A and B are shown apart, each in its own frame.
Chain A
Amino acid sequence: MINVKKCVLAGVWFAAALVPCIAAAALGEPENSVQADGARLHASLKVTAHAQYQLHEMQLPSGTLVHEFVGTDGKVFAVAWSGPTMPNLRQTFGRYFDTYVSAVRGKAASHSQLQIRQDGLVVESGRHARAFAGRAYLPQSVPTGVDIGELR
């Protein structure tokens, strides 16, 4: 089920036998549609299979971990991040970035935290000191039986 291939990310070769390597995609997009995502984030990648999704883990040069959750339909339904920098949200949110930006306007938010809760998009983001943590998910695309708390 894992689409094993060699890939080049940030100039580093990963042997397919050692690191199954699939570039994760943007929120709502098929996993194979944005081969460039990891590369644009200059991230290393690994993929682990769970019962109802595949978890793609990328590590940015800053050390930040980005998790993208891909459902059995092959589409990304959640992204989460944790570390010293935020990922490029336009890249990781894809077509939901504009929804996110317009949802924030005039909305409850502060320098330390932000929460967006819409039927089609949930964003939760926090910043403290040198740490960023947050996630975004598409409520209607989260596979049945997956605990929202797992999406970290």
Chain B
Amino acid sequence: MLRILRTGAAAALAAALLSCGGGGGGGISTGVGTSPAASNVADVVVDSGPSNSSVNTLFTTVTVCVPGSTTNCQTIDHIQVDTASFGLRILASVLTLTLPVQKATDGNSLVECTVFADGYSWGPVELTDMQIAGESAASLPIQVIGDPRFTSVPSDCSDAGPTEEDTVATFGANGILGIGVFMQDCGQTCVNSANPQYYYSCTATACQATTVPLAGQVANPESFFAVDNNGAIIDLPSVAAQGAPSITGSLIFGIDTQSNNASGNEAVLTVDPNYGYLTALFNGQTLSQSFIDTGSNGNYFDDSNIPQCSESDLSTFYCPVNSQSLTATLQGANGMTAAVSFIAGNAQTMLADSTTFAVFPELAGTNPVSGSFDFGLPFYYGRRVATALELQTTSAGTGPYIAF
């Protein structure tokens, strides 16, 4: 869909930029469970994705197996890597395996409503043995989105968001791998109370919100690894100002567990233990709900000095005449700080000039949440960024933290 940009079609421009509408599919192979060479490094890529319309979206490849089997497995590419969510979610339409559906504490099927800012995804919690690079997570609870056995979405799930995202086209990837700082997607909130928009106990005819113990929740697979299980490092190359068609990099599991993931002299910024926030100091503002997120496809912040784009569907993006070099200071909950330089370019011209590109280091826009600076995937270009899991230690400190 990026190619459509040349025509100047506004809707296509917006869809290409921010979402991932379009065709499905995308290189799914069914394997025979041969383990990759023992390694803690998974390849990652930023490209236009299975819908051929993604921008600044990081993908990797995972292998899932029926629990206990080493042969009944499937390798799935273009799984989005997201450091702002937790756990593996796969679109049912690309999954050829039948995995066991988990049960709620009352014995009914356990089904989850995953709410995003722009919509919701519905599907059961199922168990898999997952492999990525040389790491394995056995009996891992994952969500299978859009499972045809569970099509009746309860209203208090669908009332949360504007769009049901249960297909590759609407979801924008074949799945998502949440490897942020927390162990489970919901945590104690779902142990304490039955909340709409998280877990449901479903019979054949009805669903009701339910509590779920931590062990039953969709979980960050890193916490299931036997080794290299205290976090991960994302290492991406720098990108020329005008962007690139695609880039490749590394997702390295573990921190200070192997020779390739040693801590050095990075700034170690702890994040708040409830929400994962950092504080950003920018233009005299103290933005206490800030974060670094591979799942955001630009840098999003409010700066009234930079003009927004005139194109109506890009109106929340910045379109300065000349690229603006800016600086913010990130501050951890531990008081540690790090200066971050970044560039806000002209979204309209960068997209129009490079219609086949999927990598745009200068893409920036306004932030819908006050008090927040969202450093998205462009932050990672040219950096090596460690994300340490909650309660886990490395030689640089105890998670949850971000270091770069």
Contacts and interface: CB of A to CB of B under 8 A. Distances in A.
B195 A88 contact: no
Contacts of B313: 106-108
Contacts, number: 161
Nearest to B290: A128
A86 B115 contact: yes
A106 B185 CA distance: 28
B293 interface: yes
Contacts of A101: 162-163
A100 B162 CA distance: 7
A16 interface: no
Contacts of A110: 18-19, 117-118, 295-297
Interface in A126-140: 126-134
A128 B84 contact: yes
A86 B158 CA distance: 11
A105 B163 contact: yes
A90 B159 contact: yes
B159 A113 contact: no
Most chain B CB within 10 A, of A97, A103, A115, A117, is at A115
B401 interface: no
B297 A129 contact: no
Chain B residues touching A, range: 35 or more
Given A129-B85, A129-B181, A115 B159 contact: no
A128 B189 contact: no
Interface stretch (B126-134, B239-247, B261-269, B272-280): B272-280
Interface of A: 60-63, 84-86, 88-91, 97, 100-101, 103-115, 117, 124-134, 149, 152
B166 to A, nearest CB: 14
Given A128-B374, A130-B275, A104 B118 contact: yes
A114 B189 contact: no
A108 B17 contact: yes
Interface string B108-119: 000000011111
A133 B369 contact: yes
Contacts of B84: 112, 127-129
Most chain A CB within 10 A, of B161, B291, B300, is at B161
A111 B295 contact: yes
Given A85-B189, A85-B196, A100-B162, A125 B117 contact: yes
A89 B159 contact: yes
B197 interface: yes
A65 B300 CA distance: 24
Interface string B178-207: 001110011101000111111000000000
10 contacts: A86-B161, A105-B163, A108-B18, A110-B117, A110-B118, A111-B118, A112-B374, A129-B182, A130-B189, A131-B275
A124 B195 CA distance: 23
A128 B182 CA distance: 12
Nearest to B297: A110
B118 A126 contact: no
A109 B296 CA distance: 10
A108 B296 CA distance: 13
Contacts of B276: 128-131
Contact of B300 (A105, A109, A113, A149): A113
Most chain B CB within 10 A, of A129, A130, A134, is at A129
B189 A62 contact: yes
A134 B42 CA distance: 35
Nearest to B158: A90
A111 B14 CA distance: 14
A114 B161 CA distance: 11
Contacts of B86: 129
A92 B84 CA distance: 26
Given A88-B159, A111-B85, A125-B118, 9 more contacts: A84-B274, A86-B160, A108-B316, A109-B19, A113-B296, A114-B368, A127-B115, A127-B116, A127-B117
A55 B367 CA distance: 24
A112 B297 CA distance: 9
Given A62-B195, A108-B14, A109-B19, A91 B118 contact: no
A100 B159 CA distance: 11
A103 B14 CA distance: 13
Nearest to B159: A90
